[in-house]
Amino acid sequence: MSGTLRRTIAGAPSLEKLCPGLSPGSSGGGGGFPTVRPRRLRQSPAMRRLVSEVRLHPADLVLPLFVKEGLHEARPIRSLPGVFQHSRDSLRKAAADAVQAGIGGIMLFGVPTERDHCGTTDAVLNDAIADVIAEVGNDTVVMSDLCLDEFTDHGHCGILAADGSVDNDATLLRYAEMAVGQADAGAHVLGLSGMMDGQVGVVRAALDAAGHTDTVLLAYAAKYASGFYGPFRDAVESQLQGDRKTYQQDPANAAEALREVALDVAEGADIIMVKPALPYLDVLRQVADAVDVPVAAYQVSGEYAMVEAAAANGWINREQVMLETLIGARRAGADFVLTYWATEAAALIS
């Protein structure tokens, strides 16, 4: 190797001493090296921060919260460490804490004490919406889940026909009723998570007819029939019989998600969601590239629980992986992420 190249590569004269048998001539070559050195932009925290392509902000995060009818204090959810079924009082405190942390919003789920075939026991959710609005007002975005699975005695997201299948069109009528009730209670955003055909258009029409033209619709347009929902079903005490593969999407399909998204946007969806996040980052990217409305991702209960379990066993760095998964969703195209870590992550990144 020439003396000029030796002088160009800092420290090269000592390479033989540091690594006996390794010739300095074995490094370098094409690709612009030694002139081009990508490591220059990684050499300090300040430099890495300056050139970061994606930045997490508390406002990018939405916290799911569960309220259980009849509780007098918060109750831990065994399969979701650090997450609780809330009483009405503890829900208000959790909402206030979320506002203090600066997160972008809250998504509310109701857990009733009684269920029926048509999911009519949803008053617990409307009460929770009103409680949170009374506590935080417009200081954060209050969202509510619009689905029947928490309230039906069979655990499906719709009304069952005589043959046991989910009756799509009958379900839409219930969704319309629920939507007006949630908007009356003060919800800013309704999360349509049932994956019924035509749900966005029917709910939009019902809201507009009731005078709720400003209520935002967040459509779970690409919601997959995933194995990652298990802990959530514990949280809402789901009574699910069978599975949801006839209305939630096949994990093998991406093009189908784009079709669902296009239909929901055409029906009036203001925001689109991909759920779960981690196994579907490719879909998230495609959806973000395809639409001109905001895109959300839901980091679901199973994603959260597997990180918590691995961290509890000392196998991973919990906080590092927490933030890495959130950055991954944002990098793939999510404008905001629903995550059970929202309040904690906000404190870490503030």
Give the pair of three-digit tokens for residue 208: 């507009």
User: Does the annotation mark 245 as catalytic?
Assistant: no
Q: What phi-psi label fits residue 198: left (phi over 0), alpha (psi between -120 and 50 degrees) or beta? A: left
Instruction: Indicate left, alpha or beta for 41 from its phi (over 0: left) and psi (-120 to 50: alpha).
Output: alpha
Cis peptide before 34 (omega within 30 of 0): yes
Q: Is 78 annotated as a binding residue?
A: no
Question: Does the annotation list 220 as a binding residue?
Answer: no
The single-letter DSSP state of residue 249 is B
Q: Report the SS3 class of residue 92.
A: helix
233 labelled as ligand-binding? yes
Phi, psi of 132, deg, nearest 5: -70, -40
17 in active site: no
Q: Output the CA–CA distances (angstroms, integers) from residue 313 to 14, 24, 318, 344, in the order listed.
A: 43, 43, 10, 20
Q: Is the Cβ–Cβ distance between 159 and 117 less than 8 Å?
A: yes
How deeply is 76 buried, as exposed, middle or buried, from its count of CB atoms within 10 A (0-12, 13-18, 19+)?
exposed
Closest CA to 133 of 189, 186, 67: 186
Is 280 annotated to bind a ligand? Reply is no
Q: How many angstroms separate the CA atoms of 247 and 259, rounded?
A: 14
Calculate Rg over the CA atoms of the chain: 24
Catalytic residue among 68, 93, 245, 275: 275
Nearest to 66 by CA among 57, 54, 76, 56: 76
| Active-site pick, 68, 93, 223, 245 | 223
331 is in an annotated binding site: no
DSSP string for residues in 114-132: --BTT---THHHHHHHHHH
Residue 137, both tokens: 């007002």
For the annotated binding site for Mg(2+), the residues are 260
Catalytic positions, written as ranges: 223, 275
Annotated binding-site ranges for 5-aminolevulinate: 233, 244, 301, 340
